[in-house]
Amino acid sequence: MSIFITGATGFIGNHVLAQLLEGGETVHVLSRRVPIDPDHPIGHLVDSRCVKIFQGDVLDRESLRRAMMGCDCVYHIAAFAQNWARDPGIFSAVNVGGAVNVLRTARDLAVRRVVVTSSEVALGPSNGTPVDPTAPRAAPAFTAYEQSKIDAERAIQEFSDKDNGVDVVIVNPTRVFGPGLLNEGNSVTRMIALYLGGKWRLILANGEALGNYAYVRDVANGHLLAMKHGRPGERYVLGGENLSFNRFFEVLAELSHCRRHLLHVPAAAALAFSRFEEARGRATRHYPLITPGWVRTFLCDWACSCEKSQQELGYNITPFADAVRETFEWLSRTGVRELSREGG
């Protein structure tokens, strides 16, 4: 059986690809550029007999067709997942248009099953109880990225409702962290590295806002489980434990034996700074450290329930403390911690 995957050069997709290859699968990979550089995320696979790399883009239907030809199932993980863009329309173009292109191509090539990676943000913030994927969303989007994920899910659901012969399953990862590429998709691990190096000193507001933190190896395995066991038209949260910012940093301190003095930044001050950063980004080439939409996002609770995934997919959650220990070990082994070291 041949499998097609988009987004294999990203944080989560790279782990999904690795697990597929560990299972002996033959994989067709779509990459926007030829990975001739050994430092490229899939550069080491150029000569692999189990991997066929196709240059292309999710916005190019012809390159999708070439890469997907002969495959039985598809993992669509690629997305524009940056926190900000000067042209916010790129979020919809890639995240909605790309998903529709993948599904249309899968339909045309009679692919039997597609797993699409969405995000917890498409579910909306929690309101006292962890969000369940069956519950309707009750709040507007805070960011262009979040809106694009909401719109993409609507397009996917409309597509899957049609009698087109393609089974579509949606997965919703939460705040994913762990060993791997230190890009914006792995911002939690970047934050952990900065904390270890003494360069992270801030907590937003009172620090009690909840988030759900998922270990990347669990999330990658959840993709494979969704392909095997997911029900068509359904969505599944791939998450971990729900923690406040305060508890998150308490665990880091306990496990690293390194307790940093952290400053609580009032919401009003964070919003004022984010407005300045956004304005600066629009006026110059500066990339904002944070924008107002993301400040508002992190002021909300984002507790999630993985019960449906556990019951229907057999999804397993690595305890947060164990996942953090493994992340610490990886940061130390790879020298990433050295990059962020600072006295005190």
pLDDT tens, 88-136? 999 999 999 999 999 999 999 999 899 999 999 999 999 788 998 888 8
| pLDDT above 90: residue 287 | yes
Give the model's pLDDT for residue 279.
96
Tokens of 167: 């089974």
Tokens of 100: 């529709």
Residue tagged 């959650």 (tokens): 317
| pLDDT above 90: residue 139 | no
Q: What is the mean pLDDT of residues 273-281?
A: 96
Tens digit of pLDDT for each residue in 319-341? 999 999 999 999 999 876 544 43
Q: What is the mean pLDDT of residues 290-316?
A: 97
- Is the model more confident about 139 or about 145? 145
- Is the model more confident about 41 or about 227? 227
Our measurement of the distance from residue 107's CA atom to the centroid of its chain's CA atoms, rounded to an integer in Å, reads: 25
Helix/strand/coil (H, E, C) string of 165-197?
CCEEEEEEECEEECCCCCCHHHHHHHHHHHHHC
Give the model's pLDDT for residue 344.
30
Q: What is the mean pLDDT of residues 33-42?
A: 65
Buried-exposed string 272-310: b where 16+ CB fall within 10 A, e elsewhere: ebbeebbeebeeeeeebebbbbbbbbbbbbbbbbbebbe
Could you give the CA distance from residue 226 to residue 314 in angstroms, rounded to a whole number? 9
Whether the Cβ atoms of residue 180 and residue 246 lie closer than 8 Å to each other: no
Give the model's pLDDT for residue 46.
64
pTM of the model: 0.94
Whether the Cβ atoms of residue 145 and residue 96 lie closer than 8 Å to each other: no
Q: To the nearest whole percent, how much of the chain has pLDDT over 70?
A: 92
Angle of helix 245-256 versus helix 320-334 axis, rounded to 10 = 60
Whether the Cβ atoms of residue 175 and residue 188 lie closer than 8 Å to each other: yes
Strands 235-238 and 167-173, by their bridges, are parallel
| pLDDT above 50: residue 342 | no
Give the model's pLDDT for residue 223.
98
3-class SS at 163? coil
- Say how many Å lie between the first and final Cα of the chain, rounded: 53
Question: Cα Rg for the chain, rounded, in angstroms?
Answer: 20
| pLDDT above 50: residue 343 | no
Give the model's pLDDT for residue 163.
59
Q: What is the mean pLDDT of residues 169-183?
A: 95
Q: To the nearest whole percent, how much of the chain has pLDDT over 90?
A: 81
Give the model's pLDDT for residue 162.
60
Q: Which domains does the chain have, with CATH numbers?
A: 2-181+214-240 (3.40.50.720)
Tens digit of pLDDT for each residue in 242-256? 999 999 999 999 999
Give the model's pLDDT for residue 341.
39
Q: What is the mean pLDDT of residues 16-28?
A: 94
Residue tagged 């949606």 (tokens): 170
Give the model's pLDDT for residue 38.
60
Give the model's pLDDT for residue 111.
94
Closest to 83 in 3D by CA, of 293, 302, 326:
293
Q: What is the mean pLDDT of residues 176-191?
A: 92
Q: What is the mean pLDDT of residues 27-56?
A: 77
Torsion of Cα atoms, 273 then 261 then 199 then 206, to 10°: -40
Could you give the CA distance from residue 44 to residue 14 in angstroms, rounded to a whole number? 12
